[in-house]
Amino acid sequence: MASTLAIISSNKIDQRFALLRATRRKALVCYVTSGYPSEDQCLELLRGLETEGADIIEIGVPFSDPIADGPVIQDSSQKALAAGMTLEKTLDIVSRADLTVPVVLFTYLNPLLAAGPDVLERASAAGVDGILLTDLPVGADPDREKWLGDSDLAFIRLVAPTTPVDRMREIALNGSGFVYLISRLGVTGAQSSLASDLRETSDRLRSATDLPICVGFGISNGEQARAAASAADGVVVGSALVKAAGESIDKALSLTRSLRTALDS
Amino acid sequence: MHAAPEKTMTAISTHDRFGPFGGRYVPETLIPALDELDSAFDSAMADAEFVRTVDEMLSTYVGRPSPLSDAPRLSEQVGTSVFLKREDLNHTGAHKINNTVGQALLAMRMGKRRIIAETGAGQHGVATATVCARFGLDCTVYMGEEDIRRQSLNVYRMKLMGAKVVPVSSGTKTLKDATSEAIRDWVTNVNDSYYIIGSVVGPAPYPRMVREFQSVIGREAREQMLNRTGKLPTAVVACVGGGSNAMGIFHPFEDDRDVKLIGVEAAGHGLESGEHSASLLRGKPGVLHGTLSYLLQDGDGQVHPAHSISAGLDYPGVGPEHAWLKDSGRAEYVAVTDEDALRGFATLSRLEGIIPALETSHAIAWVIDNASRWIKSDSVLICVSGRGDKDMAQIAEMGFLDR
């Protein structure tokens, strides 16, 4: 429903996809770990990503036990936590960044539950447009899913290569904004090549929903981004950007520039 | 006082929930695998041939039934009859193998020949490596670097039996991080690998499945108590980390309303010190490793590292069914410090010639320290979850005998 209403939706994610469709461009979704490499550098990175052409920015709330993440995001999370990063401070960073592009809060369930029932309103007020939970699959917890689904935030759900097509339909019906297609089995992290069955999974998902589809996990360079985007409406780049940001913000921004160029060419 | 909540318990516990606790909070990739596991487990348990094979392995390989020992000198000290369910006498020295036998047979029934496991003290890792050797399965065990250092003997045992032991250097380098790493392996290799979780934790159906495989402890003990004393025990006492030996011995007594069920958590340096593993007594409900249960965490929802002298209790979460047994009032949870557990360890060794695991020692110590709760005609059943051989190096290093 979200996509058919996109043109009149008040959600910035829907508006962004409407614009991308109108201009026949693919979405570049960039992931950053909140507070990494430092709070100030994270802020600089967020603003820079917008300038370099990110369409949507995912900001990850660091969690002590990130079971869905590979070594790069684990390491960035541990460092951010050690420096005192929290969900509350993440909302503060989003608010201070004051971005034009939509922002998705990317989090594990436990920090969100600990933040209390009004956290979704507070996130919305801080400038968050969507939320993605790594460990709340469809049907896992109807009450909490309703809480998330009823909020002002787009509720972005994930689909995996193992997901049967009936379940893909159910996932899409219970989500909004876009569907995050996990490109391969495993955890987050750069890979030398894309999964060979990506196109097939993406076609199945396409047959199950009209929501925009963004492919993530393992995309680290322009060539992979362009290949993955050909099977979807956009790509998510995470670990590669976090790794680059760990070296310097300039490196992360230069990677973003090359991803944008590849997607637009 | 207990009747009402127990009725509710039946009413609101579902296939994958215990009251509000449990569930499947995992990455989407694992959902079809958990669905498959759930139906494979149910169909296996409904298959008389599978059940017979499990029972036969437990009898001819593990050495079941394990004996029920009376403990005359300990009983005299406590002032009531104390009985010991001797899981320490199982092959590999602890209750853990009851579960790994069942799950390994299930894995083979599902056509999976690569096994993944996590381990803290190494007991579950050893029990997994053992059955993998017995059945010719490929075995990978994740273990925190800190635990590898503390439990080098068990690492050696696993390797000797052909398992690959993968050191985990993230986070606290203990059981919680080993579990996260095992889950990451499973997400990556979900099509050909089977994850044998070692306790009544993790996403559904694991808590229910591990409880079923461990319930053999309670079924045997209940019958042995009736045969020996002609009645049920006044109380059943077991230590609780993740809580598998406790669930295993509690479950068959759950409908015996007069039997008190008492779980003993690790109070570490003391419940007020912040350095303990008492998730039920000091944690708050939260989500870790795929399940909603009591969890040691800070105000921001970050998991707080656990502490216990015994590596097997050193886990910040606890099985979701224990969370519900606590909230429904059916079981009582208490805690014993490192120091008191050491006294329990020494007492059982000296009075009965049984050297218990440090985990078990918590349950022993609690019974000794609460002697005033019992009268002479009572009987207290303690689950001796494992033997203390694995703890000898640690105890010797502390200069325990010279203290």
Q: Which of B29, B11, B5 is nearest to B188 (CA)?
A: B29
* CB within 8 Å: A137 and B189: no
Q: Which residue has the higher pLDDT, A190 or A75?
A: A75
Q: How distant, in Å, are the alpha carbons of A35, A64, B307, B403 from that of B300?
A: 15, 11, 20, 41
pLDDT band at A178 (very low <50, low <70, confident <90, very high): very high
Known catalytic membership, residue A200? no
Given a contact cutoff of 8 angstroms between Cβ atoms, the answer to whether B147 and B121 are in contact is yes
Nearest CA in chain B to A161: B29
Q: How far is B33 from chain A (nearest CA, A)?
A: 8
Looking at beta carbons, which residues of chain A come within 8 Å of B303? 64-65, 110
Which secondary-structure segment (H or E) carries A122? helix A119-126
* CB within 8 Å: B31 and A86: no
pLDDT value of residue A9: 84
Percent of chain A whose predicted confidence (pLDDT) is above 90: 91
ipTM of the prediction: 0.95
Q: Which residues contact A240 (CB under 8 A, 6 or more apart)?
A: A190, A219, A220, A221, A255
pLDDT value of residue B8: 38
Q: Which residues contact B102 (CB under 8 A, 6 or more apart)?
A: B54, B209, B212, B213
- H-type alpha helices, B189-333: 206-214, 216-229, 244-250, 279-282, 320-327
Q: Which of B90, B106, B120 is nearest to B54 (CA)?
A: B106
Looking at beta carbons, which residues of chain A come within 8 Å of B25? 109, 135-137, 140-141
Other Cβ atoms closer than 10 A to A98? 11
Residues of B within an 8 Å Cβ radius of A: 23-33, 170-171, 176-177, 180, 183-184, 187-191, 286-290, 292, 295, 297, 299-303
Residue B370 burial class via C-beta count within 10 angstroms: exposed 0-12, middle 13-18, buried 19 and up: middle
pLDDT value of residue B2: 36
Nearest CA in chain B to A73: B170
pLDDT value of residue A7: 56
Nearest CA in chain A to B296: A110
Q: How far apart are CA A216 and CA A174, in angstroms?
A: 20
Q: Which residues contact B306 (CB under 8 A, 6 or more apart)?
A: B174, B176, B266, B268, B276, B277, B279, B296, B313, B314, B315, B316
Instruction: Tell me the mean pLDDT in the region A66-84.
Output: 96
* CB within 8 Å: B302 and A63: yes
* Weakest-pLDDT range from A58-62, B224-228, B311-315: B311-315
Q: How far is A152 from chain B (nearest CA, A)?
A: 23
Other Cβ atoms closer than 10 A to B382? 30
Q: Which of B352, B376, B390 is nearest to B86 (CA)?
A: B352
Nearest CA in chain A to B173: A65
* Weakest-pLDDT range from B8-12, B135-139, B240-244, B376-380: B8-12
Interface test with B, best of A34, A61, A63, A67 (most B CBs within 10 A): A67
Residue B369, CB-side half-sphere exposure with 13 Å CA sphere: 19
Known catalytic membership, residue A65? no
Looking at beta carbons, which residues of chain B come within 8 Å of A68? 27, 184, 187
Instruction: Tell me the mean pLDDT in the region A74-103.
Output: 97
Nearest CA in chain B to A166: B32
Which secondary-structure segment (H or E) carries B54? helix B48-57
The total number of residues shown for chain A amounts to 265
Q: How far apart are CA B127 and CA B62, in angstroms?
A: 10
Q: How far is B120 from chain A (nearest CA, A)?
A: 16
Q: How far is B74 from chain A (nearest CA, A)?
A: 42
Instruction: Tell me the mean pLDDT in the region B329-351.
Output: 98
pLDDT value of residue B5: 36
Q: What DSSP designation does B387 have?
A: B
Interface test with A, best of B14, B17, B21, B28 (most A CBs within 10 A): B28
Q: How distant, in Å, are the alpha carbons of A107, A219, B108, B118 from that of B135?
A: 40, 39, 9, 19
* Weakest-pLDDT range from A6-15, A136-145, B299-308: A6-15
Q: How far apart are CA B64 and CA B90, in angstroms?
A: 7
pLDDT value of residue B13: 63
Instruction: Tell me the mean pLDDT in the region B6-32.
Output: 79
- H-type alpha helices, B110-192: 123-135, 145-150, 152-160, 175-188
Q: Which residues contact B338 (CB under 8 A, 6 or more apart)?
A: B266, B267, B268, B269, B308, B309
Looking at beta carbons, which residues of chain A come within 8 Å of B316? none
How do beta strands B17-18 and B21-22 pair? antiparallel
Nearest CA in chain B to A157: B28
Nearest to A187 among B188, B292, B302 (CB): B188
Please tell me whether residue B297 adopts helix, strand or coil conformation: strand
Which of A55, A69, A129, A233 is an active site residue? A69
Given a cut of 60, whether residue B191 has pLDDT beyond it is yes
Which secondary-structure segment (H or E) carries B119? strand B114-119
User: How many cross-chain Cβ pairs, A to B, lie less than 8 Å apart?
Assistant: 120
Q: How far apart are CA B281 and CA B393, in angstroms?
A: 30
Q: Which of A181, A170, A258 is nearest to A216 (CA)?
A: A181
Known catalytic membership, residue B385? yes
* CB within 8 Å: B287 and A74: no
